[in-house]
Amino acid sequence: QVQLVESGGGLVQAGGSLRLSCAASGRTFSSYAMGWFRQAPGKVREFVADITRSGAGTYYDDSVKGRFTISRDNAKNTMYLQMNSLKPEDTANYYCAADALYSRLRIGNVDYWGQGTQVTVSS
């Protein structure tokens, strides 16, 4: 099994940037497809972005496409989410996720979740 720990959240003004990190335990980080989800108060957890095991392929929800960039460094067992041009609608708790089997991350196939890191965007 693997433990996932997010960091980098905080309070930022609209138009600003944040970089989230997800540090994973273990020595088989490259065996997992990785991704980010977010959940705002009163809302369901929703997909943000994911990245293939090699890092060669990425996918983004339309709501963040062109503003967010997902990446991973398998040598450091770390995944990142660079968030630019932040909007108040991006305010949510952001969760790191990992899957050992599937190519794409979905709520239903996530094997491991991080504890979340809060991102708050003020107008």
Q: How many percent of the chain have pLDDT more than 90? A: 89
The helix or strand, by DSSP H or E, that contains position 83, with its residue range, turns out to be strand 78-83
Q: Above 80 in pLDDT, residue 108?
A: yes
Q: What pLDDT does residue 26 have?
A: 75
Separation CA 81–CA 83 (nearest Å): 6
pLDDT of residue 27: 67
pLDDT digits (tens, 9 = 90+) for 34-92: 999 999 999 999 999 999 999 999 999 999 999 999 999 999 999 999 999 999 999 99
Backbone angles phi, psi at 115, to 5 degrees: -85, -15
pLDDT at 47: 97
